[in-house]
Structure 1
Amino acid sequence: MKTTLTKERCVACRKDAPRLTDAEIAQLRKEVPLWKVEERDGIPILERVFSFPDFAAALRFTQRVGELAEQEGHHPAILTEWGKVTVSWWTHKIRGLHRNDFVMAAKTDGIYESSAKGPSPEG
């Protein structure tokens, strides 16, 4: 799914940055419909489970998401297992969801879509 969020970059987030409202979250979820908003320890997080044919493919995806996180300066929780990867985005500083989390979810979807088209070239 194409979304304008993939064209955005993460912005530096301060501790006093406002969390997204429920209405803003509902609007942004339309751009990343396969992601769920879960609550853990009172903190809303954006989460999706991605499926893969084996551990090696899951690990390659994890590496690509990690590289994206480093480029953008925004880091998820990633659980890599045989045949699946769970990615969770939230903004630690504000203990909630920020637009950055939806930008990164959309970019993570793009990585998954490109990895589903076949093996990516090395390097």
Structure 2
Amino acid sequence: MTELLEQKCVPCTGSLPTATAAEIDTYKKQLPDWNLITENGELRLQRVFQFADFRDALAFTNLVGNLAEEEGHHPALLTEWGKVTVTWWTHAIGGLHHNDFIMAAKSDAAWKAKE
């Protein structure tokens, strides 16, 4: 399987199926720091990134936001003093799609690059 980080998101119109349990298991193995959560009946990927202060948290929020714009796939971002919670899911299908795992991998790469 091609590494998630090297892949691009595909446009999602709502007609694509959600990721299967087997796909989720396979992709999740590449993203050990992400949690699977259920919110409003939808499966989502979530990770909390820690920072020394609000300025660093905000800079990371903007970095993830720029990645999202480049790929045309957008997360929920909660920026607080010293942390950013990033949640990926595909709104149009009400659950997880391959795109969400790609973007989680890109978020991880952005986190590692800042260190």
Fold match, TM over 0.5? yes
Unaligned runs of 5+ in 1: 117-123
Consecutive unaligned residues in structure 2, runs of 5 or more: none
2:74 maps to a residue whose letter is H
CA-based RMSD = 0.9
CA distance in 2 between counterparts of 1:25 and 1:84 reads: 26
Residue deviations 1:97-121, cap 9 Å, x none?
00000000000000000012xxxxx
Distance 1:58 1:13 in 2: 29
Residue 68 of structure 1 is matched in structure 2 by 67
CA distance in 1, matches of 2:102, 2:59: 21
- Scaled by the length of structure 2, the TM-score of the pair is 0.97
- For residues 41 and 13 of structure 1, the distance between their equivalents in structure 2, rounded to whole angstroms, comes to 20
> What corresponds to 2:42 in structure 1?
43
Query: Is it true that 1:106 corresponds to 2:105 in the alignment?
Result: yes
* Aligned mates of 2:40, 2:58 — CA distance in 1: 28
Return the index of the structure with the highest Cα Rg.
1
**Deviation beyond 4 Å, 4+ runs, structure 1:** none
Residue 18 of structure 1 pairs with residue 17 of structure 2:
yes
Give the equivalent residue in structure 2 for 1:119: none
In 2, distance between residues paired with 1:16 and 1:75? Answer: 18
Distance 1:14 1:56 in 2: 35
SS of the equivalent of 2:63 reads: helix
Counterpart of 2:14 in 1: which secondary structure? coil
SS at match of 1:37: strand
When the two structures are superposed, what TM-score results if normalisation uses the length of structure 1?
0.90
**Distance between the aligned counterparts of 1:15 and 1:55, measured in 2?**
36
Match of 1:90 in 2: 89
- Structure 2 Cα separation of the partners of residues 76 and 48 of structure 1: 11
Q: Deviations over 1:23-66 (max 9, x none)?
A: 11011000111000100010001000000011000000000000
How many residue pairs are counted as aligned between the two chains?
Answer: 114
